[in-house]
Amino acid sequence: FTDGILLAASAGVIVRTVRMSCVESTGYTGTQGKKRSHKERKPVFTKRKRTSAGEMCYLAWRNISGHRKRFLLTVFSLFLGLEAFLGAVVITAGSDYVHVIEQRPDFLIAGQFSTYGREQGYGEEYQTRDAGQDPMLTEGDCFDLLYDNDYDEFSPISPEVRKELLEIDGVDSDKSYIMEGAYLYTVISKKGIRPLEQVFLSEDAEDDEMIEGWDQDVVQILKEDEIESLKKYVETNSLPVDMDSLENGTGVLILHDHALSAAQEKLTEESVGEPVYFKTMISREDRIRWNNMTAQERTEQEEAGNFQMKQSENFTLCGYLDNRKENFPEIRQTWHGSEGDLYFLISEKGFQRIPTEKKTLYMELNADQTKESFVKTSVQRIISEENQRRSRMTETAFDEGTGEAGIFCISKSDLMTEAASEIQRNRLILGSISAVLLLAGFTNYFNVMVTGVLARKKELKIMESVGMTVKQKRTMIQAEGGYYCLFTVGLLMTVGMAILLMIRYYMEQKLSYFKFTWPISWILLLIAGLAVINVTTAWIMCKDEGENSSGKGVRFLMPF
């Protein structure tokens, strides 16, 4: 029985052995059978073999991260140097003197002072001032301005000249500006003028309720957008000014050049609502007749009331505004600044209540740039012809043989030509400062690269002795410099941009003509400069080693 079981158990093996070839039998173990199917597991982490360049970049990062504090301080130092340069570039470009002149219209045209006024030096102050200052600011008063033109029909820019100027081919009338108004005598209540009583109230007028001015004052018509900007300014600053009366034509506003002290400004609240009205100058015919009279005849005619001046309807005083206060809206003005004159603002509706025609006080012309030269020639011709005509109009002048005051023009192109040398000088100075900052930033980066290599000279020698080639060494140094560059540029594009915005806000508060532009081209230049320094430094530091070990180095892959 036992033999039978053994025979049956070994029969399969015997038969398989008999049938196998000699080659198959050498590898037979007898354990073969059905294999279980096992699902192949994928490893959780796969380790890829790095390239030579990858190993060098990894090694460079290990070198940097091993001295984290030094790395962060170095990056911060580089960032400050380059950010200082970008800040200097933004300030230099934004505060360029060209922007001052660019704010001017292509052509500013206004009436001249009389011959008597110009002899006193009035009306020509703009010629010795900075282009950024108001050219219409003067110490001369309306007596000096209208000395030879003291009659109601006089307009600083005549209707005929105004029409000719606007019809010049190339003048953009939509972008041009025309100021209208008149020169009038003011009659105002004592309470209304009290904030300026030291200037306007004489001893013999202390008992009068209504005070009449000795000289003419400017009454300027505001445009709708100017009224809206003033309303917004008054509301924002909670000023005691009645803008509703100004807008509906029943009130007038006094604009002054920081003429009130803190104590006087408190009195302006009490002046709101006080009565004021205007009187026109005498007609041209009466002025000529008055000039031909003797002193006794003039007195008799004045006492008889033969030189009548038309009177306007009553207005209410809306208040006082200081045109030099911070954030005051842009309101163009004709000649202003004299202590002895008042400067009134009125709406179009309000001026209709004054019995006189609107006069053109001031013009700004903007031209098509392609036709600017032709427009300039035409403007000069028209002004020259008008001034020659007025020089022959001597009937209204106080001084015999003196003609009426003419008009003048300030051209943007002339201002640019006159300021060319100053612009060049400013650019040279500010550009030199920027260049020094740029050189300092690049020198700092070069110093970081060189000192980093020299400090690890012994370490690099050991790595060369175990097989690191010059090419691998150069790649590692470039990778280290690249990390410095990458982190520095990252700071420039984040924190640096925020700092530039802060500079923009500050400069716009300090300089009205400041023009901010993003220094994109300079940032690209900085990146390119850092890259060039990085490559150049690595090449120089490895040049000698490359010459000495030429043909001896074995390509080495770091086992990390």
What is the mean predicted confidence (pLDDT) over 93-105?
Answer: 82
What is the mean predicted confidence (pLDDT) over 103-111?
Answer: 93
Buried b / exposed e over 72-94, threshold 16 CB at 10 Å, is: eebbebbbebbbbbbbbbbbbbb
pLDDT exceeds cutoff 60 at 518: yes
Specify whether the backbone of 390 is left (phi greater than 0), alpha (psi in -120 to 50) or beta: alpha
The CA distance from 145 to 125, in Å, is: 14
Q: Which residue has the higher pLDDT, 403 or 198?
A: 403
**3-state helix vs strand vs coil in the chain, percent to 5:** 55, 10, 35
Helix axes 68-94, 470-491, angle to 10 degrees: 50
Q: For tokens 């020198």, what's the residue?
A: 443
The CA distance from 366 to 176, in Å, is: 5
Confidence of residue 527 (pLDDT cuts 50, 70, 90): confident
Q: Which residue has the higher pLDDT, 549 or 359?
A: 359
- Pick the most confident of 352-356, 393-397, 556-560: 352-356
Residue pLDDT, tens place only, 213-243: 888 999 999 999 999 999 999 999 999 999 9
CB 464 within 8 A of CB 476: no
pLDDT exceeds cutoff 70 at 402: yes
What is the mean predicted confidence (pLDDT) over 412-425?
Answer: 79
The beta-strand segments (E) located in 496-541 are none
> What's the Rg (C-alpha) of the chain?
44
3-state SS track over 308-332: CCCECCCEEEEEEEECCCCCCCCCC
* pTM over 0.75, yes/no: no
Question: How many other CB atoms are there within 10 angstroms of residue 237's CB atom?
Answer: 13
Residue pLDDT, tens place only, 286-300: 888 888 888 888 888
Q: What is the pLDDT of residue 556?
A: 39
pLDDT exceeds cutoff 70 at 406: yes
Specify whether the backbone of 274 is left (phi greater than 0), alpha (psi in -120 to 50) or beta: beta
CB 465 within 8 A of CB 42: no
Domain boundary assignment for the chain: 52-97+422-547, 113-405
What is the mean predicted confidence (pLDDT) over 168-174?
Answer: 92
Residue pLDDT, tens place only, 471-487: 777 777 777 777 878 88
What is the mean predicted confidence (pLDDT) over 314-334?
Answer: 93
The beta-strand segments (E) located in 64-222 are 107-111, 177-189, 210-212, 217-221
Q: What is the pLDDT of residue 418?
A: 77
Identify any residues that bridge with 186 across adjacent strands, giving them in sequence order: 278
pLDDT exceeds cutoff 70 at 59: no
- Pick the most confident of 196-205, 342-351, 422-431, 435-444: 342-351
The CA distance from 209 to 198, in Å, is: 16
